[in-house]
Amino acid sequence: MSNINLIDSFQEFKDFKNIDRPTVISVLEEVFRSMLRKKYGTDENCDVIVNPDNGDLEIWRTRKVMEDGFSEDDDLEIELAEVKALDADMEVGDDYIEQITLESFGRRAILAARQTLVSKVLELEKDEIFKKYKDRVGEIVTGEVYQVWKKETLVLDDEGNELMMPKTEQIPADYFKKGDTVRAVILKVDMVNATPKIIISRIAPEFLQRLFEIEVPEIFDGLITIKKIVREPGERAKVAVESYDDRIDPVGACVGMKGSRIHGIVRELKNENIDVINFTNNISLYITRALSPAKITSIKLDDDTKHAAVYLKPDQVSLAIGRGGHNIKLAGKLTGYEIDVYREAGEEDEDVDIEEFSDEIDSWIIDELKAIGCDTAKSVLALSIDELVKRTDLEEETVKEVMSILKSEFE
């Protein structure tokens, strides 16, 4: 038989990325044994030899030489007269070994075998991809954006495997186009209609944790551990860290000299603000650190209801709450306590800078008020609505709304 290199003849085999050659060889052997059983009724007296280096195939069939008229099974035995015509040296009791050519199976059988082969290897490849990624959940993967749709983005890894990143798993400021390189964490792997579906995410806390492991060697080495991460993707994140070595400052190590380590992470997360804080089992201290950058005067804890009442000076209240309430919300998630913020008792007479209300009052309105010398809340409240309308370019409705916001600060 002329050697036929099966692996090279089946073009699809060149594209199988996740299956090793020995596995493909075993599939090849099984497919041809199936063909032998179909043609001869059995394959027990056949040897299928596949060269693992180049895919060359040889099939050998052995039959026992019997006296004429005594052969009971032509698939396992051959009569002397028949074998003498093929090999004159054969005698009764000898084993007659013949090579089976691929062509002898017929064109139809070969095409069917090819189809079965490709189908089985594709199935194996899908299983291998599933197993490979199932074990990598929580790891960072880098890929190239191949297609961007309204609700999801298709990313290809370095082996060409498809990874899906739903819009809900992207940072709000993310904008991708074909050819972009993107990093994300493997969130979950499912089998859908016998095809692996790999979901990746850029908003999962694990993504931020893996970025810290890449940038901070002490975390990767286990000298510093990340106790908990909470995020409002694209806005703010809080990371509680603890050091197992008293000589290492965990916060300083994570931030790096002049912020060198954390800057790379912030850029990757589209300028998400990251607060790195020292973990502690002292809940009061933990909450105090979690509400950074606000400075807290005192805390009252109710451990039964997991509730904390936090008292601050008036100029620290807006810092504790943060833009959009992100700071206090994340502090609550990080510590596991529901946090309520109160202005410190006995400070009612203290004034508040008008700039502290920038979350609730538009900057151009604040500029109008400052232009007439009203740079604190009480200096605005000291004037009547009519006087404010007359001295500024503000509408009466706007002035009333501003007054209401400022009054609520002192109630």
Tell me, yes or no, whether 193 and 152 share the same domain. Answer: yes
Tell me, yes or no, whether 125 and 155 share the same domain. Answer: no
Tell me, yes or no, whether 104 and 20 share the same domain. Answer: yes
**Predicted confidence band at 175 (pLDDT cuts at 50, 70, 90)?**
very high
Q: Is the model more confident about 48 or about 410?
A: 48
291 secondary structure, DSSP code: T
Region 215-222: mean pLDDT is 91
Give residue 85's identity as a one-letter amino acid code.
A
**Predicted confidence band at 13 (pLDDT cuts at 50, 70, 90)?**
low
Cα torsion 135, 141, 145, 146: sign? negative
Confirm whether 103 is domain-assigned: yes
Q: Is the model more confident about 411 or about 361?
A: 361
Cα dist. 183→168, 211, 213 in Å? 16, 10, 14
Tokens 């990080």 -> residue:
334
Confirm whether 264 is domain-assigned: no
Alpha-carbon 310 to chain mean position: 37
Region 380-403: mean pLDDT is 87
pLDDT for residue 19 is more than 80: no
pLDDT of residue 5: 42
Instruction: Quote the pTM value.
Output: 0.63
Q: Looking at 104, 131, 158, which one is the last position of a domain?
A: 131
Tell me, yes or no, whether 48 and 151 share the same domain. Answer: no
Residue 410 DSSP SS3: helix
pLDDT for residue 163 is more than 90: yes
Tokens of 110: 């070969």
Q: Can you list the pairs that 343-351 forms with residues at least 24 positions away whose Cβ atoms lie under 8 Å?
A: 343/311, 343/312, 343/313, 343/314, 343/317, 344/297, 344/298, 344/311, 344/312, 344/313, 344/314, 345/311, 347/313, 347/314, 348/410, 350/313, 350/314, 351/314, 351/376, 351/377, 351/378, 351/379
Q: Looking at 203, 231, 257, which one is the last position of a domain?
A: 203
Confirm whether 171 is domain-assigned: yes
Tokens of 387: 């006087």
Residue-wise over 162-195: b if at least 16 C-beta within 10 A, else e? bbebeeebbbeebeeeeeeebbbbbbebeeeeee
Confirm whether 119 is domain-assigned: yes
- Which helix (DSSP H) or strand (DSSP E) does residue 49 occupy? strand 46-50
pLDDT of residue 349: 52
Tell me, yes or no, whether 179 and 111 share the same domain. Answer: no
pLDDT for residue 216 is more than 60: yes
Domain harbouring 192, CATH code: 2.40.50.140
177 secondary structure, DSSP code: -
Domain of 154, in residue numbers: 141-203
Give the Cα separation of 31 and 120 in Å (integer). 9
Confirm whether 275 is domain-assigned: no
> What is the count of structural domains for the chain?
3
Confirm whether 245 is domain-assigned: no
Tell me, yes or no, whether 106 and 71 share the same domain. Answer: yes
Q: Looking at 172, 203, 234, which one is the last position of a domain?
A: 203
Tell me, yes or no, whether 166 and 116 share the same domain. Answer: no
**Predicted confidence band at 236 (pLDDT cuts at 50, 70, 90)?**
very high
Give the Cα separation of 119 and 114 in Å (integer). 9
Tell me, yes or no, whether 96 and 115 share the same domain. Answer: yes
Tell me, yes or no, whether 119 and 172 share the same domain. Answer: no
Confirm whether 117 is domain-assigned: yes
Least confident of 75-89, 110-124, 365-379: 110-124
Confirm whether 223 is domain-assigned: no
pLDDT of residue 100: 82
pLDDT of residue 14: 44
Domain harbouring 53, CATH code: 3.30.1480
Which residues, at least 6 apart from 368, have a Cβ–Cβ distance to it below 8 Å? 392, 393, 394
Tokens of 396: 């009466």
Tell me, yes or no, whether 84 and 172 share the same domain. Answer: no
Residue 315 DSSP SS3: helix
Region 343-360: mean pLDDT is 71
Tell me, yes or no, whether 20 and 43 share the same domain. Answer: yes
Which residues, at least 6 apart from 313, have a Cβ–Cβ distance to it below 8 Å? 295, 297, 343, 344, 347, 350
Give the Cα separation of 7 and 275 in Å (integer). 56
Tell me, yes or no, whether 80 and 11 share the same domain. Answer: yes
